[in-house]
Amino acid sequence: MPVKEKKKKVLVSSVKGVKVTITQESLSKALNIPNKGNQLYNSWFDSVKVTRDQLVLEFTKPEHDFNSTNLKDIPKIFHNMIRHTILPRCGSFEAVTDIDFCIIYHLINKIPLNLCYIMIQYMIDQCYSIKQKVVGLPYGMHLTPIFRAAKVDLDKEKGKATFMRFTAKTISQLRTTSTNMPIPLKSESVKRPADKEVQKTTKK
């Protein structure tokens, strides 16, 4: 998949003989997300006048080594969302990359960040990755609307829906410590109050 260098980088590929060009604008339209905000990726710290060491100190629990496990509650939840959804990857999840820091920093401080720009840059990184024997683009599920917009025939393709739900149980597995975090029930089934009333009536 070639990467064209213009004012903005774009990805160009061929799917079933149909030329597909992926740009920030096409991602914005297909995923219905704004193409706005800071366009930052690697080496972003100077742009917002913070240092990596400052964020390590701010986001890590006191007197703990720095890794994803020892992040404070809110940064830890954001990092879990990033590594599974925003920047999906496999392998060890202990590392907190510079771009992970970038997204966490913007989320916590409520600063607009251009997700379309980040997705394009991340896909380019995957294309150029020398660690992978077979290069594959992330966001497979999200690329489908782009392929359809390019009139690629996907009718006979079989998809597999795999995704992670963030629930009270999922959050509890992150070992967060804040008292305002939801605690999952011991039983997976949650009965509504109305159901309990019906049971009482039946027993009588």
In total, how many domains does the chain have? 1
pLDDT score for 187: 44
According to the model, what pLDDT value does residue 106 have? 96
Its pTM surpasses 0.85: no
Summarised one tens digit per residue, pLDDT across range 84-126 is: 889 988 777 788 999 999 999 999 999 999 999 999 999 888 8
Domain that holds residue 66: 3-203
DSSP string, 49-101: T--HHHHHHHHBPTT--SSGGGB-HHHHHHHHHIIIIIS---S------HHHH
Return the SS3 of 193.
Answer: helix
pLDDT averaged per 10 residues in sequence order, the chain, 204 residues:
58 85 88 93 92 95 92 93 87 86 96 94 80 65 80 76 64 59 48 46 46
State how far the Cα of 138 lies from the Cα of 119, in Å rounded to an integer.
9
pLDDT of residue 82: 92
